Chains A and B, each alone.
Chain A
Amino acid sequence: AQSVTQPDIHITVSEGASLELRCNYSYGATPYLFWYVQSPGQGLQLLLKYFSGDTLVQGIKGFEAEFKRSQSSFNLRKPSVHWSDAAEYFCAEDTGTASKLTFGTGTRLQVTL
């Protein structure tokens, strides 16, 4: 069965430090991959998406993600984290049917000042 794995349940970083959130996917030679962010009490907002082409994709809020086919990974990065980045982050993969998504279990980011 298709699965998306986010191995880190909770990460704490200091404001200004760099960030990398890990994601591994399991489906498709040419996957469609997404990162979403969820602030407390809110819905999910799209940060960025990968379809094909450049393996480094840029998103909103200064985030980027790198697709590595050899490692089945799509890790999210930010060079310098801001306190407002504290939220839960979800990686997702298009299942290839009716635009359904399979989500990882999420990584909660805490930012210390």
Chain B
Amino acid sequence: NAGVTQTPKFQVLKTGQSMTLQCAQDMNHNSMYWYRQDPGMGLRLIYYSASEGTTDKGEVPNGYNVSRLNKREFSLRLESAAPSQTSVYFCASTERGSGQPQHFGDGTRLSIL
């Protein structure tokens, strides 16, 4: 079982470049999430999609956009990358309903110079 797959695993960008991070899950989950992880700050929610066709802002959405392409795929786009967006990005998915655990991908390590 692949679970949640994120591509790419590593990326280096220059300030101002754009990039899309890809995420796909094969568990038929309804809800998907994008987080960023920075030292000492835990995971912070960027955007989420409660179900196919819907997306909503999380705690730190500025500078990002998302697309729920279909039930399996949820992409995160940086339109004009900034050094402050250097981080590790995690995608997660879960079945709909309170108390359902989220399943995480292995992350994308993004550096912006």
Chain A residues packing against B (C-beta within 8 Å): 9, 32, 34, 36, 41-46, 49, 51, 90, 94, 96, 98-101, 103-106
Total contacts A to B, CB within 8 angstroms?
A: 60
* Interface hub of A32, A98, A103, A106 (most chain B Cβ within 10 A): A98
Interface-facing stretch out of B11-19, B61-69, B75-83, B102-110: B102-110
B98 touches A42 (CB 8 A): no
Q: List 10 A-B contacts (CB under 8 A).
A: A34-B101, A41-B107, A43-B90, A43-B106, A44-B90, A45-B104, A90-B43, A94-B99, A99-B95, A100-B58
B48 within 8 A of A: yes
Contact partners of A100 in chain B: CB under 8 A: 33, 45, 48, 58
Min CB gap A92→B, angstroms: 8
Classify the secondary structure of A's interface with B: loop
With A43-B107, A99-B94 as contacts: A105 and B41 at CB distance below 8 Å:
yes
Contact partners of B42 in chain A: CB under 8 A: 90, 103-106
Contact partners of B40 in chain A: CB under 8 A: 9, 105
With the chains together, A56 CA to B95 CA distance in Å? 25
Other A-B contacts than A94-B99, A99-B50, A99-B100, 10 sampled, CB-CB below 8 A, are A9-B40, A43-B90, A43-B106, A90-B43, A94-B98, A96-B98, A98-B50, A103-B42, A103-B43, A105-B42
B31 within 8 A of A: yes
A43 touches B105 (CB 8 A): yes
Contact partners of B106 in chain A: CB under 8 A: 41-43
